[in-house]
């Protein structure tokens, strides 16, 4: 079975540009969360989507937005890129049923470099 898949693997953008990152959850998982991991730090929560609705938002500016599609895949959008947005962006999916055990499964991430 395929795990959480993210695309693209690497991305290079310049300041002020816009970027879209994509995530496909594990089959049967309806919840997707996004995290930002700056070099040398632990991941920080950005968004959670469940059944196509936003269920949680971290302390990130409005330049960050996301959405979830009917097939439960998700996009993270970042506008007006800043140098500080350079990071590894991780997507995680979960089952959210009675047997879910609150476990999130992570993809390998998208490495974004802003020049």
Partner 1 sequence: AQTVTQSQPEMSVQEAETVTLSCTYDTSESDYYLFWYKQPPSRQMILVIRQEAYKQQNATENRFSVNFQKAAKSFSLKISDSQLGDAAMYFCAYVPGGGSEKLVFGKGTKLTVNP
Binding residues vs partner 1 (CB under 8 A)? 31, 33, 35, 40-45, 48, 50, 55-56, 58, 88, 90, 92, 94, 96, 101-109, 111
User: With contact defined as beta carbons under 8 Å apart, do 94 and 103 qualify?
Assistant: yes
Closest CB to partner 1 among residues 80, 108: 108
Closest CB to partner 1 among residues 71, 102: 102
Closest CB to partner 1 among residues 15, 56: 56
CB of 89 to partner 1, least distance (A): 11
CB of 16 to partner 1, least distance (A): 27
Concatenating the DSSP letter of every residue in 18-74 gives -EEEEEEPPTT--EEEEEEE-TTS--EEEEEEETTEEEEE-S--TTEEEEE-TTS-E
Q: Is 85 helix (H, G, I), strand (E, B) or coil?
A: helix
């Amino acid at each position: 079975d395929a795990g959480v898949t993210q695309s693209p693997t690497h991305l290079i953008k310049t300041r002020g540009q816009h970027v879209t990152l994509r995530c496909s959850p594990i089959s049967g998982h309806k919840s997707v969360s996004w995290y930002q991991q700056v070099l040398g730090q632990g991941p920080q929560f950005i968004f959670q989507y469940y059944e196509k609705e936003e269920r949680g938002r971290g302390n990130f500016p409005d330049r960050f937005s996301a959405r979830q599609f009917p097939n439960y895949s998700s996009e993270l959008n970042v506008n007006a890129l800043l140098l500080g947005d350079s990071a590894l962006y991780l997507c995680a999916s979960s089952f959210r049923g009675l047997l879910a055990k609150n476990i999130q499964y992570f993809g390998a991430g998208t490495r974004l470099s802003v020049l």
